[in-house]
Amino acid sequence: MKILQCNPHASYLAQKEEIDAAVKRVLDSGWYILGQECESFEREFAEYVGVSHAIGVASGTDALLLALKACGVNAGDEVITVAHTAVATAAAITMCGAIPVFVDIDPITYTMNPYRLEDAVSEKTKAIVPVHIYGMPADMDAIMAVAKENGLKVIEDCAQAVGAQIKSEIRNQKSEIGWRNVGTFGDAATFSFYPTKNLGAFGDGGAVVTNNDGIAESLRVLRQYGWEERYISKTHGWNSRLDEMQAAILRVKLRCLDEDNDARRRIAGIYDSMLEDSNIVTPKVPSGFYHVYHQYVIQYIDREGLREELAEKGVGTAIHYPAPVNLQPAYFDPDNRCSLPDTEILCSAILSLPIYPQITEEDAKYVVGCMVG
């Protein structure tokens, strides 16, 4: 491949010296789990997002599972989410013993359709998990309004959207309105630091953020065997910790996250303008939403043909995701066949083009040239 669809190695090379120094610092320190690097990263990340607490954990999937638990979701509860997401969103809900209830997406933004929520609420519903898919924020003001009306917890899945923002009309717990980062709206929000993410470690990692002191305290206990004091488990927790090496790397990468997101937005701008008059559907971003393009996803009727043609010309693509979660064998329920037409139509046509901060403008132009040239 001449141009990869994603390229975490390029992000290592871009900051090689600082990352090597951070790794060496940890190795030399003799302290490898839950130490100063993790504490410093949690402080710096909470400040970046604009929340009171960040808790580092082992992955984005664990972050969701722990957040659901800390928000009081139990076995048999229903949790409303979308089927157009990484399977991890639903996996965390089922791992917690709860039942995922899928609602359709908005066909323009591809995120949770807030107008489908009311119909999905039952007496068993405990929480809503909106997903800021591809780096595009879900309509949090509308979702929070439904949650408030029905007394539901909200856990934002921000795995793909670190740094994305929404111009909000609703005051949060800190009484803020206006432009706010995703992750500041719900009771808690979760992030993944999988290597290809906008803020990627070089291994697995994740975090939960919250403004709620009680939820933060529960998370700290749950991520380490339910310990409130060492070796004494007061609740049933397990092991989900962000290690010192990943935390040190993330501290380096956090410093250039905004710059990296700007680079992604520049590449997206090139794709947008060069594909404007073509028969390829490009992402639409309503005003008041700040997209950080974890993925740049187009729609095209002959998606497979286009994919093959691009591969022949050395351009890597991916499909995020080929099947909605509700139609995957592990989640398919023949007795409860939910109707998600907008999700299913979208899945059949989407294609993710190459996007990462180190891609050059020439490369982006070459990619479009291979499609419309």
Ligand X SMILES: Cc1ncc(COP(=O)(O)O)c(C=O)c1O
Q: Given candidates 5, 7, 11, 59, which one binds ligand X under the rule CB under 6 A? A: 59
- Based on CB atoms, which residue is closest to ligand X, 41 or 194? 194
Closest CA to 56 of 204, 161, 211, 256: 204
DSSP code of residue 3: B
Q: Rule CB under 6 A: choose which of 109, 160, 168, 218 binds ligand X.
A: 160
Does the protein bind ligand X through residue 316 (CB under 6 A)? Answer: no
Q: Which of 68, 73, 88, 128 binds ligand X (CB under 6 A)?
A: 88
Q: Does 85 bind ligand X (CB under 6 A)?
A: yes
Binding mask 189-208 for ligand X (x = CB under 6 A): ---x-x---------x-x--
**CB nearer to ligand X: pick between 85 and 212:** 85
In the bound state with ligand X, the residue whose beta carbon lies nearer, of 274 and 324, is 324
Single out the residue of 5, 7, 61, 111 in contact with ligand X (rule: CB under 6 A).
61
Residue 19 to residue 251: CA distance in whole angstroms: 9
What are the φ and ψ backbone dihedral angles of 286, each rounded to 5 degrees? -65, 155
- Considering the complex, what minimum distance in angstroms separates the CB of residue 274 from ligand X? 27
User: What's the min distance (Å) between Cβ of 193 and ligand X?
Assistant: 7
Instruction: State in angstroms the smallest separation of the CB of 181 from ligand X.
Output: 16
Nearer to ligand X (CB atom), residue 280 or residue 355: 355
Minimum CB–partner distance for residue 152 and ligand X (Å): 19
10 Å Cβ neighbour count for 227?
Answer: 16
Rounded distance, CA 84 to CA 111, Å? Answer: 8
Smallest distance from ligand X to CB 159, Å:
3
In sequence order, the 6+-apart residues with CB closer than 8 A to the CB of 361 are 266, 267, 270
Nearest to 26 by CA among 355, 230, 221, 246: 246
SS3 state of residue 369: helix
159 binds ligand X (CB under 6 A): yes
Q: Is the CB of residue 245 less than 8 Å from the CB of residue 268? A: no
**Region from 59-67, 97-105, 213-221, 329-337 binding ligand X, contact rule CB under 6 A:** 59-67
Closest to 128 measured CA to CA, from 187, 88, 69, 178: 187
The C-alpha atoms of residue 89 and residue 76 are separated, in whole angstroms, by 17
Of the candidates 314, 48, 351, the one whose C-alpha atom is nearest the C-alpha of residue 180 is 48
Contact status, residue 211 vs residue 52, Cβ threshold 8 Å: yes
User: Does 157 contact ligand X by CB under 6 A?
Assistant: yes
147 binds ligand X, rule: CB under 6 A: no
**Residue ranges in contact with ligand X by CB under 6 A:** 59-61, 85-86, 88-89, 131, 157, 159-160, 192, 194, 204, 206
